[in-house]
Amino acid sequence: MKQRVAITGAGGFLGSALARRLTAEGAEVSALTRRPVELPGVSWQPYDLADLSLPPAALEAAEVVIHAAFSMAGAGQELEKLNYDAALRLHAEARRRGAHFIFISSMSAHGQAASSYGRAKWRIEGSLDENSDTIVRPGLVVGRGGLYARMFGMVCRAPVLPLFYGGTQPIQPIALEDLTEGLVRLTQRRAAGVFNLALPQPITIRELYTRMLAAARLSRPLLPLPGDLTLGVLRVCERLGLGLPITSENLLGLKHLRSFETADSLARLGLTLKPVDELPWAQGAANP
Ligand SMILES: NC(=O)c1ccc[n+]([C@@H]2O[C@H](COP(=O)([O-])OP(=O)(O)OC[C@H]3O[C@@H](n4cnc5c(N)ncnc54)[C@H](OP(=O)(O)O)[C@@H]3O)[C@@H](O)[C@H]2O)c1
């Protein structure tokens, strides 16, 4: 029998790739999104994180619910609350219906997270049950969209690349296809627990920029800048309503990046990842 899977954020970079993969695997996929999505074989249910009433048909017959949507609207506690409340509501409904819940978290989620993004993900993780739910922490997803493509676009446009806090922060990349493969296995097995999915060996932000520049065949100077001083300046600019290409939230996210042990998660899924030299670094250029 076909497995029935509901995916929030199914119109996004990761969610749409996952919806396509699961459909190709024979699953019956329902996209829970604000606007209808045009994915072959995928049905649609209206869903907005801000609407806690959750339309009654939203999770109809779903056996697995994958929560990939995340709103970056607003800032600070407002952003945290919106995403936290929505995740709790969706999780409660999934549980009530006996559906397995998979939460797409992040490697920004940890106890010392200072960005609203990392804190929201961490709070949501804390409200789930590792014995019955699945928490997935992907590293930086390398492909034609999402954060990677936004960073790639920034690297291509900026005449100089600022390196905050020394540029030594760890980044653990993973190819989009490898991540979706891992998520397909988790969906099919309904395996509970925490899964850190990315290459075990981190690269630094400096190396990430260098790889992006090489993929774009560009040369740019890398300029070390004092992180905390820039953070202070950004906060003043934000209070004055001045729009800048980088926000204090971006910098807080960068400051508190840390590496995660991933070998155990990969082994549990029997997943072999593309090595760092074979990642599709140039794909960011397709959709910057
Ligand atoms: N890309 C990465 O490197 C990476 C790494 C770690 C974790 N993640 C996590 O993976 C998930 C997917 O990320 P992504 O890279 O695919 O980003 P994305 O393309 O921006 O997808 C995010 C999705 O959330 C949806 N969304 C935003 N606000 C919403 C709202 N109010 N109601 C309903 N849906 C809403 C968006 O829908 P609309 O299309 O309607 O705007 C979008 O489809 C996120 O939870 C993200 O935190 C991503």
Q: What is the pLDDT of residues 211-236, one digit of tens each?
A: 999 999 999 999 998 888 988 988 99
Answer yes or no: is pLDDT of 288 > 70.
no
48 close to ligand 1 (CB < 6 Angstrom): yes
The answer to whether the CB of 271 falls within 8 A of the CB of 178 is yes
> Mean pLDDT across the stretch 128-137?
98
Q: How far is the CA of 70 from the centre of ligand 1 (A)?
A: 5
Q: Is the CB of 140 under 6 A from ligand 1?
A: yes
Radius of gyration (Cα) for the chain, nearest Å?
19
pTM for the whole thing?
0.95
Decide whether any atom of ligand 1 lies within 6 Å of the 69 Cβ. Answer: yes
Is 75 a residue whose pLDDT tops 90? Answer: no
Quote the tokens at residue 83: 């995403």
Residue 287: per-residue pLDDT: 52
Question: Across residues 191-211, what is the average pLDDT?
Answer: 97
> What amino acid occupies position 257?
L
SS3 224: strand
